Homo-oligomer: A and B are copies of this chain.
Amino acid sequence: MRPTQRRLSSLPPTIRSLLSSRRSTLPSISSTTHLETTPCVNEPVEVNGWIKSVRAHKNVAFLEVSDGTTGENVQAVLKGKNKAEGLSIGASAKLRGRLEQSRGRGQDVELVVEDAQVLGTCDAEAYPIQKKSLPASVLRDNAHLRFRTSQTAAVMRIRDALARDWHDWFESHDFVHVHTPILTGSDCEGAGEVFTIVDHPAPSSPTSPQPFFPHPVHLTVSAQLHLEAPTHALSRTYTLSPSFRAEPSLTSRHLSEFYMLEAEVAWQNDLDGLLSIVEEGVKNVVGNILNGEKRGKRLRGDLSTVARSLHEVDDLESVTGRGQEVADTLYHLRQVVDKPFTRITYTSALELLSSLHANSPSTISPPPSWGQGISTDHEKLLAAHFNGPVFVTRYPKELKPFYMLPTPSTIKNEKTEASRGPTVECFDLLFPHWGEMAGGSLREHRLTELTHVIEEMGMKKEEYGWYLDLRKYGSVPHGGWGMGWDRWVGWVTGMGNVRDVVPYARWKGHCKY
């Protein structure tokens, strides 16, 4: 009955805020990306962090300390014997002292420790991630500890910062972020490779109670259909939310649980216009990194950390030449902003692949026949040929889902296209060394035509009543696109395998934690 009321205490400073508050606002005279620091700041500070490395000498010990809020470590200097006791790699500690200008190489300031308190010890012998570079498979099996490597910590910060930059871009264009559902009675792609839910482990037991839902419920494979409804009221919507596929794919680009960035835009009746929106979004986010705008500076620091870990070197300069590290880390990003994305139809892409194959029959496989899909190898080849992102548009109708808008007859196709079969107003966006990064289309917005295609494909019309309603009442031409978020993070970071850019990866046979 004696309620206490106290003044708000804010969160204590992190290493990130400590280091950035130590930065001078004076213009840097150095040409590197490192900022100058104010010399010899001498106020008492407290640093909480984990010990990343220890160099102990007779009367002095140097510790690298990280709290994970930035890729930059604080170097802590402990003078006098025994001061570093218990401060082994992986241990957590509270260090009190003063920040001073460092005379050593590699850092601007160092923490001269006056009082060190070990909070959590770490048995260096038993600690699974003490070594500098462990195989990715070992780290995946230790996902709960993997966050402690400089690589995964940087990837997590990058993943976060990239999402914020995309959210900002969407907001600046009046898109509303919508929490589309995970549980659904629909199967958007009609693929069948869905996870089904039950509310108890043994659904078919004779004594089991009434099921939780009166019909089968799946985990969503795409938010698109669910986004189209609010798009018919809010005009521009998007979501960054989880999707699921029960596919047994064991490639470096597939997960059973993955995040998708999906957007829908009303009043859009032009495929080229849709492509421009996608291109603008991609270039905006990548441009921020290159220009150091928004979160770009932080992202560059973390990308450099990832690149160092991938090359297994402490210092990228040692392998690439002084001053080249940033340029190298960002090469794939520059490829994206340097020029307009190439736009090419599916049919023209096949003709191009055919001529590339004719020139190098021993290294380049024959193109698919018209009507077949384009393989990942061929996708990479197309992007490599144009040395940058490529939109491949107007795929054969048979290759794509029911909701895509047919290419109108008013669009002048190359002669060959017209004769080979109907196409739809869609695109795949291919990236160099990666393949498909995003895909999208204009949607069939005409009630009669959509009803016809649903019937034609033998789909259950009654399940799509609500989807048809969107066309029945105040329909609008619209289009949208989706990007595998983990693929995007994998591409930006250069990590290569989507299992290494998600906190906890799930794929066939693997759902640890």
Contacts and interface: CB of A to CB of B under 8 A. Distances in A.
Nearest to A470: B144
A342 B3 contact: yes
Contacts of A139: none
A343 B474 contact: no
A181 interface: yes
Contacts of A279: 8
B506 A230 contact: no
A366 B390 CA distance: 70
Interface stretch (A12-20, A24-32, A105-113, A373-381): A12-20
A176 B160 CA distance: 6
Interface in A169-194: 171, 173-174, 176-186, 194
Interface string A1-41: 11111111111101011000000000000000000000000
A342 B468 CA distance: 52
Contacts of A6: 272, 276, 340, 343
Contacts of A69: 174, 176, 234-236
Interface string A268-290: 00001100110110010000000
Q: How many copies does the complex hold?
A: 2
A337 to B, nearest CB: 11
Contacts of A54: none
A81 to B, nearest CB: 24
A351 interface: yes
Interface in A80-133: 90-92, 94, 119-123, 126-127
Contact of A1 (B92, B199, B352): B352
A48 B267 contact: yes
A347 B14 CA distance: 35
Contacts of A236: 11, 14, 69
Interface string A385-405: 010001000000000000000
A126 B145 CA distance: 58
B229 A92 contact: no
Nearest to A145: B469
A68 interface: yes
A321 interface: no
A271 to B, nearest CB: 11
A331 interface: no
A183 B256 contact: yes
A216 B195 CA distance: 13
Contact of A3 (B126, B182, B348): B348
A135 interface: no
Contact of A200 (B196, B214, B469): B196
A120 B476 contact: yes
A487 interface: no
A101 B116 CA distance: 69
Nearest to A273: B9
Nearest to A214: B509
A311 B6 CA distance: 38
A471 interface: yes
Contacts of A386: 3
A343 B148 contact: no
A445 B120 CA distance: 9
Interface stretch (A56-64, A151-159, A429-437, A454-462): A151-159
A68 to B, nearest CB: 4
A11 B466 CA distance: 28
Contacts of A167: 164, 167
16 contacts: A3-B343, A3-B348, A5-B339, A5-B342, A7-B340, A8-B280, A11-B236, A48-B267, A91-B474, A120-B474, A120-B475, A147-B234, A148-B474, A183-B244, A186-B513, A230-B503
Interface of A: 1-12, 14, 16-17, 48-51, 67-69, 90-92, 94, 119-123, 126-127, 143-145, 147-148, 152-153, 156-157, 159-160, 163-164, 167, 171, 173-174, 176-186, 194-204, 212-217, 219, 226, 229-230, 232-236, 241-242, 244, 246, 248, 256-257, 259, 265-267, 272-273, 276-277, 279-280, 283, 339-344, 348, 351-352, 355, 386, 390, 445, 466-467, 469-477, 502-504, 506, 508-513
Given A9-B276, A183-B506, 13 more contacts: A2-B348, A6-B272, A10-B277, A67-B266, A69-B174, A147-B229, A147-B230, A148-B474, A153-B233, A164-B167, A196-B199, A196-B200, A200-B246
